[in-house]
């Protein structure tokens, strides 16, 4: 059926995403290969300096930028791990419960509150004059307030806090599809509760776990707001580095090259995810084919 409606309806979308996704990202890619203009901006000269700069070393052998990238990686891995470790039992519990819509709601409600306000709340809790300190002082456990803020732990806590629902939801969706009768079968065959969870449940929710990991790790890797507020300058992650380069130093090429780094990472994640999904689909297809023979 020939129809030009398809082109017509898709036109605004095509134009918009080309103009506001494709072009800007192409520019970023382009800028990463240009030279820096003093005072901000770029000089239209091909220059790999922005990438070389990433590997820059100080006199005493420290890789200033690679250190940041490495640190960000560690923090992201740590935060993701913690998030998934908490999210798994939560999702499992919700999936097994009778009123799972209500429980899901409970998980999601705090997220209706504005992102910034939630971060602010943690400042109010962990700050020098925050409630944690005030309570500990009042209880006599502390003599002077401790600075709970502006360190790795504070950032980790809030990273986990803000990413939990993004991990719980996909995990819940996958676990819900799982046939819990399999666990009973495993128990029947002699496995302990823990063993049945480990050997039967986990392998079957691999897809959900991978989704949860991807949708947690990649945003955390590029996070800016949380380390900036909760960590100030004591915690310095890739997102803050890029922001600093872009907004304060005006070093467009380097901000771009670092962004490309994140882009590559996201791309790798996407490829892994797609390959996994295609693999799963292929396996199912083989089974179906065998059946019909």
Partner 1 sequence: MTKPTLSRTIFWTTIAFLFLPLVVLMVFSFNEGRTMVWKGFSLKWYESLFGNQPRLWAAVVNTLIVAFTASTVATLIGTLGAIAINWYRFKAKSYVQALSFLPLILPEIIIGVSLLVFFRMLGMELNLFTIILAHISFTIPFVLLMVMARLGEFDYSIIEAARDLGANENQTLLKVILPISVPGILAGFITAFTLSLEDFVVTFFVTGSGSDTLPIYIYNQIKRKLPPEINAFSVVLIGATVFLLFFARRSIKYFVKT
Single residue of 176, 201, 219, 236 touching partner 1 by CB under 8 A: 219
Single residue of 34, 50, 125, 200 touching partner 1 by CB under 8 A: 125
Single residue of 52, 77, 102, 124 touching partner 1 by CB under 8 A: 124
Beta carbon nearer to partner 1, 58 or 101: 101
Residue 117 binding partner 1, by CB under 8 A: yes
Residue 268 binding partner 1, by CB under 8 A: no
Residue 7 binding partner 1, by CB under 8 A: yes
Per residue in 195-220, is it b (16+ CB within 10 Å) or e — as a string?
A: ebbeebbeeebebbbbbbbbbbbbbb
Nearest to residue 166, comparing CAs of 261, 233, 90, 225?
90
Backbone angles phi, psi at 279, to 5 degrees: -60, -45
Contacts for 69-73: CB closer than 8 Å, 24+ residues apart: 69/238, 69/261, 71/236, 71/237, 72/221, 72/237, 72/238, 72/239, 73/221
Beta carbon nearer to partner 1, 49 or 253: 253
Single residue of 27, 185, 202, 272 touching partner 1 by CB under 8 A: 27
Residue 209 binding partner 1, by CB under 8 A: no
Applying the rule CB under 8 A, the residues between 151 and 190 that interact with partner 1 are: 161, 164, 180, 184, 187
Residue 202 binding partner 1, by CB under 8 A: no
Single residue of 79, 104, 242, 254 touching partner 1 by CB under 8 A: 242
Token output for 177: 């599809």
Closest CB 278 distance from partner 1, rounded Å: 15
The span from the CA of 219 to the CA of 118, in Å, is 17
Residue 81 binding partner 1, by CB under 8 A: no
Closest CB 114 distance from partner 1, rounded Å: 6
Maximal CA-CA distance, the chain: 79
Beta carbon nearer to partner 1, 53 or 134: 134
CB atoms within 10 A of CB 249: 12
The span from the CA of 209 to the CA of 100, in Å, is 19
């Amino acid at each position: 059926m020939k129809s030009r409606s398809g082109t017509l309806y898709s036109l605004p979308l095509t134009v918009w995403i080309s103009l506001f996704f494709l072009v800007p990202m192409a520019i970023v890619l382009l800028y990463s290969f240009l030279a820096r203009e003093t005072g901000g901006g770029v000089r239209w000269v091909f220059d790999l300096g922005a990438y070389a700069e990433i590997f820059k070393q100080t006199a005493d052998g420290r890789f200033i930028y690679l250190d940041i990238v490495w640190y960000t990686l560690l923090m992201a891995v740590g935060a993701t791990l913690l998030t998934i470790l908490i999210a798994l039992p939560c999702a499992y519990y919700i999936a097994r419960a009778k009123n799972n819509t209500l429980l899901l709601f409970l998980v999601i409600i705090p997220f209706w509150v504005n992102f910034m306000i939630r971060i602010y709340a943690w400042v109010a809790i962990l700050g020098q004059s925050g409630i944690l300190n005030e309570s500990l002082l009042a209880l006599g456990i502390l003599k002077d307030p401790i600075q709970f803020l502006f360190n790795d732990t504070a950032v980790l806590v809030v990273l986990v806090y803000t990413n939990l629902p993004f991990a719980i939801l996909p995990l819940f969706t996958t676990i819900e599809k799982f046939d819990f009768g399999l666990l009973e079968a495993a128990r029947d065959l002699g496995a302990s509760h823990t063993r049945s969870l480990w050997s039967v449940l986990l392998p079957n929710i691999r897809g959900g776990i991978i989704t949860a990991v991807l949708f947690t790790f990649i945003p955390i890797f590029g996070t800016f707001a949380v380390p900036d507020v909760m960590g100030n300058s004591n915690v310095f992650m890739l997102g803050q580095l890029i922001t600093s380069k872009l907004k304060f130093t005006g070093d467009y090429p380097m901000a771009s090259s670092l962004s490309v780094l994140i882009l590559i990472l996201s791309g790798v994640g996407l490829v892994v995810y797609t390959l996994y999904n295609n693999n799963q689909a292929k396996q199912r297809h083989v089974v179906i084919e065998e059946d019909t023979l």
